[in-house]
A and B are shown apart, each in its own frame.
Chain A
Amino acid sequence: MAKLERYHSKKFKEITSRALIYIILIILSIVWLVPFIYLLLQSFTESYDPTNIIPEVWTFQNYINLFTDPIYPFGRWYLNTLIIAIITAVLQTIITLMTAYAFSRLRFKTRQAYMKLILVIGMFPSFLGMIVTYFLLQMIGLSGSIFGLVVVYCAGAGMGYYVAKGFFDTIPRSLDEAAMIDGANKNTVFWKVILPLSKPIVVYTVLMSFTAPWGDYMMASYLAQGKQELFNVAVGLQQMMSKGRDIQYFPQFCAGGVFVSIGIMALFFWLQRYYVEGVTGGAVKG
């Protein structure tokens, strides 16, 4: 009897702990999702009222206004960001992977010193030299165009090699050696042997470099120098929410936020597997 009782109490404990976990998870889910549901709801409201969470009158006007508002050309910002993101994704991925491969696979005299140098440079605040960067862009004639941002992003791409290097480190070296014995040179090894095996990390790097320009505020706002036609979505929507117009424009901001988020969210769900792999691997190997 006593045994059975103990068994029951154990089972009871198990059930309560599970129930507790479910309750916590549900609460967490609510906490995490409610702000975004609020964002979505507010994007359909006519005008902002803090006491109204669910809009009284539902309207699509905010989404239409986004693209017709003469003061805040959201369409232009969106296009800017999209162009920057696509070009950056391609170039940055190539540069990052090249650097990672060199540090992971090639052995040369200055390798350790170079890696340490990148580590040390990375410790300075990234925008400390921004006035010089702007001046340099002016010299090559890119200060008044969105491609200036592309150049700046790609120039720094070599410094973000850590995750990809960690991945390359796990690919057995014997593969390289086998290919070399078959007469391949190091160039072919990289393009024909290593890269095809590295699909997860390639996808992860593309995803990261594509999404980063959408959220960059600091660099983009400085290089735009207040010119609206050079804004990206982050700078643009931040502008929309400042200068005392935030209440009037809040629904429009929500619509913009939803518009930006949906595209990136779709991308994340599509490539979720690779993203998770990259995050886990990156954390382990730093």
Chain B
Amino acid sequence: MSNLEYYSLTRPEKFFYKIGSFFKSIPLGIWKFFKKTPSKLKEFFKKIFNPIINLFHWFVRGDALTKLNFLVMGIGQITRHQVLRGLLNLCYEIISVIFIVLIGAPNFTKLPTFGYVSSVQYETDEAPFIGYMYQDDSFKILLYSVVSIIVILILVFLWYTSIRDSYELQQLKYIGKNKSDKETLKGLVGKDYHKVMLSIPTLGIAIFTIIPLFFMILIGFTNYNSNHMNPKELFDRVGLGNFQQLLGITGGQNGTQFALVFVQILIWTLIWAFFATFTNYFLGMIVAIMINKKGIKLKKLWRTILITTIAVPQFVSLLLMSKMLNTDTGVINAVLRELGIITQNIRFLTDGILVKVTIILVNMWIGIPYTMLMCTGILMNIPDDLYESAKIDGASPYKMYMKITLPYMLFVTTPYLISQFVGNINNFNVIYLLSNGGPIFSSINGEMITAQVFGAGQSDLLITWLYKMSMGEVFKDYGTSSVIGMVVFVVVAFFSLIFYGKSNSVKNEEDFQ
């Protein structure tokens, strides 16, 4: 169907056409996937084998120095005017070899069982009469192994580039040219400037985000918890055990209960993210429209009042709110009672259903000023003549909102909406400081909970539950929490992927410039 034909359809026809094309696209997509697979595989293998072929090629054609460079990294560069680069390569090789021999190797050998003995008890004369001699710490063994793997990967990469450069220098020498350190340094403020700019951020992200993340994903396949921790015991691989626990496959009745609690929390996380994002967005927009309306005076005052609330740190407003909403000692209940509106205190934060409403309302109180601020800026960018011509055509304010304001706002702020939605899935502060996840699940479907659910509460999000089971004061179950973290990732990635591709500013990045 051509575009023109499509536009001539009526609305329901368009709707059905879309549904039809959606179902048509599924087998088509599968067919395309299989059709493309062989060529993709070919490309993939090419990418893997090319470097190996290259290395072989360089070894055969290289002179003595290039050949020596296979063993002593950087020697080919040092002897051909690139002293600085060669020395850096050499230094890295020496340091990493020492690291691997002294730290990497001993830990690698213990990796299959995560160590042999956790600790040895011995008697002492002093008060507790029992001392521990620490032996193996599974945590450290795994961590050092992860670090060693990364060190080795970097070493391989540098080794490859150093041989490549050495061979290139050798070729250049044949035709009487050379590249020295000077050119490298010049490149650093020229074509290689990104290496300078991104070196510190990369280092930070690699050490404090990627290594911990990689490590924690591995932990998801172990039983690292307070019973399997230095000095008590070593931890061990459990394969997919933690995932099975989450799905309720193992553990009989207790296992099913755990899975039920998990599903409840997952559903509430999604409901929360949806309401928190869209209530703030639409109400914030409406407030912004009201303030922006022609003829409304004291625009600055209204805006300042709302900005005041943004300026107060969130934790202050949240803690204050949680105290004000307290069932027995909160001011709101006290005032309502004094006024005679209620006779019994309202359990804002301790009733399973009411707490969810309260949290969303408080979140509106916190979030609307921010959205309002954002929307005012964008609303002012909508050309006035659009509204004027609509007015001349006799459009009502409601129609103007639906046909001009809303489409424009949605078009411009999609990235913001995505990041808000994702941010709300991971919104730790609001829940933790307001209700601390409470009230705790005591029964589910009329059944007493006997399974270990790590203090899961009815207003807990996945993220606060994760915090409770690993970072809190009571529980330390890193294996399970790691799996929950992966679930959060999957949920977030799913929603991001759906919306991200539709965002215009992502598609047309270069158009801005």
Contact = CB atoms under 8 A, between A and B. Distances in A.
Given A187-B189, A215-B313, A279-B370, A156 B208 contact: yes
Contacts of B488: 124-125
Nearest to A118: B205
Nearest to A31: B365
B213 interface: yes
B201 A123 contact: no
Contacts of B308: 32-33, 36, 265
Nearest to B426: A125
A121 B213 contact: yes
Contact of A283 (B200, B309, B413, B463): B413
B315 A234 contact: yes
Interface in B403-428: 412-416, 418-419, 422, 426, 428
B296, B506, B512: most-surrounded residue (chain A CB, <10 A): B512
Interface string A256-286: 0100110011011100100111011111111
Contacts of A31: 365
Interface stretch (A1-9, A56-64, A69-77, A98-106): A98-106
Given A50-B333, A53-B331, A101 B197 contact: yes
Contacts of A265: 308, 311-312
A269 B215 contact: no
21 contacts: A25-B290, A33-B309, A98-B198, A123-B493, A124-B213, A129-B209, A132-B143, A152-B208, A154-B204, A159-B205, A159-B209, A186-B190, A217-B428, A238-B433, A250-B323, A254-B320, A257-B312, A268-B307, A268-B311, A276-B373, A281-B377
B246 to A, nearest CB: 15
Given A125-B463, A127-B471, A285-B505, A132 B211 contact: yes
B454 interface: no
B205 A234 contact: no
Contacts of A14: 295
A267 B312 CA distance: 11
Interface of A: 14, 18, 21-22, 24-25, 28-29, 31-33, 35-36, 38-39, 48, 50-51, 53, 95, 98-99, 101-102, 106, 108, 111, 114, 118-121, 123-133, 135-136, 151-152, 154-159, 162, 166, 169-170, 172-173, 185-187, 190, 211, 214-215, 217-218, 222, 233-234, 237-238, 241, 246-247, 250, 253-254, 257, 260-261, 264-265, 267-269, 272, 275-277, 279-286
B377 A276 contact: yes
Contacts of B305: 29, 32-33
Contacts of B210: 121
Interface residues of B, number: 99
The list of the 4 closest CB pairs from A to B, nearest first, reads A129-B212, A286-B415, A158-B201, A280-B377
Contacts of A280: 373-374, 376-378
Nearest to A158: B201
Interface in B245-300: 287, 290-291, 293, 295-296
A234 B314 CA distance: 9
A121 B205 contact: yes
A22 B311 contact: no
B194, B331, B334: most-surrounded residue (chain A CB, <10 A): B194
Nearest to B192: A108
Given A155-B209, A222-B471, A253 B319 contact: yes
A193 B209 CA distance: 32
B443 interface: no
